[in-house]
Structure 1
Amino acid sequence: MPRITDSVTTADGSCPVSLHTPDGDGPWPGIVMYPDAGGVRPTFRAMADKLAEHGYAVLVPDVYYRDGDWAPFSMATVFDDEAERTRLFAMMGKVTPDVMAADAAAFFDYLAARPEVRGDAFGTTGYCMGGRTSLTVAGLVPERVAAAMSFHGGGLVTDEPNSPHHLADRMRAAVYVGAAKNDRSFTVDDGEALDKALTAAGIEHTVEFYDAFHGFAVPDNGPYDEPAARRHWEAMQSFFGAHLG
């Protein structure tokens, strides 16, 4: 599976990325895959390879590039280690909605200029924090996003003005949300609020809860759930196939 390592120039510096494409001749529709709070690591590069197999050019950005050459987190222990948890939350806090939007515009420009990629509207998908980023970008950079997906994404319904559900009336993308059960970061009530906002905005969408816990789709997460992960791959293949062509 072809994979290149590159960097994208943004307003704040240079963001390392990897671009994953199918074998054979392109161009292909482009998708940005946003990692969970643990950031880019081998698991997400392998996931991007798998998504690329279905006929997409998949960009995986290092959303923590503002922290320079940051030390990787252990997803098995990060939330139980006070120092590591503090470091993680400090890095997460820098990835604000404005930062998400500015970076995404640079990522989309990069994809549009690549010979492997076709079109000027793209897909986004993400996990945990990345799921929130995916939907936030669909609301803040709406002309560039044709299809947006979120898996066990948290913070999709908050009191903040740039909460994804408050951005629904700006979106042009079709939206799919695959939520986790018993997830305090996205509850059943949150799902109803998001569904209501997307419906009122006339957005084609699906919001559904998987019978699995937060982290179910990412292989190096403790709650990884193989049947739920398989279902999420099937959902991505179907959803992006319908909306990206």
Structure 2
Amino acid sequence: MPDIDLAGPGAARRLTGYLVRPDGEGPWPGVVLVHEAFGLDPVQRGLAETMAGLGYLTLAVDLFSNGGARRCLVSTFRSLVSGKGPALDDIATGREYLRSSPECTGKVGIIGFCMGGGFALLTAPDFDASAPNYGFLPRDESVLENACPIVASYGGKDVSLRGAAAKLEATLTKAGVPHDVKEYPGAGHSFLNGGESGPKIMRPLLRVAGMGPEPVAAADAWARIDAFFTEHLAAPAR
């Protein structure tokens, strides 16, 4: 399926996305997918297809549309840290694209992986359900006080996010946000990926660091995401 133009004619910035429709007839609940730091590569597109297979009109927004990862990565992480900037605007554009689509019920969730998991937490107040996967917690955790329901997954072997699952659990419990947070002891970072991602030259190093697929944990995490999104996105918003 070809990418779609989300920016429209005459836009100052380029923005594309990968839209995947479920089988059958809509309308369907929508899901914005936010990719990991390596970009919207075939592995991340595969995750969008998995989400569509669960029955969601899925739009993977390419945060690196306007120049590629080399040019956009720093500014995108700057948006993640500051809570403002083009990356947040791009995610909002994707959300409104789905909400305005006749193929969508009007209910829209967000799912993110790695860097995208951080954005799924940061923008949780703007969606109907959120699934951050191994995402960094917002610097200002008060944004989670008004968050939508959250289903989050972390790997116990992910040294970059040690303690994040427990901290998120405590924050959401205190805020009274419906949630399901789980840490998988045998999994590391990027365990939901269906294959190895990132530049080929880096993949041996990523494997040594314990990053990559872990099918058993991934199957359980997908089942939890499916059940949680069914509960919180099934009721039509229109």
Q: What is the TM-score when the length of structure 2 is the normalising length?
A: 0.81
1:116 aligns with one of 103, 108, 126: 103
Q: CA RMSD in A?
A: 2.2
Q: Which amino acid aligns with 2:102?
A: P
Shift in CA distance, 20/64, structure 1 to aligned 2, threshold 3 Å: same
Who is 2:228 aligned against? 239
Deviation at 1:102, TM superposition (A): 2.0
Q: 1:134-190: CA deviations, max 9, x gaps?
A: 11111xxx2x4111011122x215xx33xxx3311122x1011101113233222x3
Deviation at 1:226, TM superposition (A): 1.2
Who is 1:216 aligned against? 191
Contact 1:183 1:213 in 2 (8 A): yes
Deviation at 1:106, TM superposition (A): 1.2
Q: How does 1:82-97 map to 2 (within 5 A)?
A: 90=74, 92-96=76-80, 97=83
Q: Which runs of 5+ in 1 are unaligned?
A: 72-83
Who is 1:75 aligned against? none
Q: Secondary structure at the match of 1:65?
A: coil
Q: Count matched residues.
A: 214
Determine the C-alpha separation between the residues in 2 that align with 1:89 and 1:13.
Answer: 16
Q: Which runs of 5+ in 2 are unaligned?
A: 198-206
Identity %: 29
Q: What is the TM-score when the length of structure 1 is the normalising length?
A: 0.79
Contact 1:7 1:16 in 2 (8 A): yes
Determine the C-alpha separation between the residues in 1 that align with 2:51 and 2:91.
Answer: 19
Q: 1:39-62: CA deviations, max 9, x gaps?
A: 101112222112112211000011
Shift in CA distance, 212/14, structure 1 to aligned 2, threshold 3 Å: same
Who is 1:59 aligned against? 59
Who is 1:204 aligned against? 178
1:146 aligns with one of 118, 128, 135: 128
Who is 1:167 aligned against? 143
Q: Which amino acid aligns with 2:7?
A: T
Shift in CA distance, 103/88, structure 1 to aligned 2, threshold 3 Å: closer
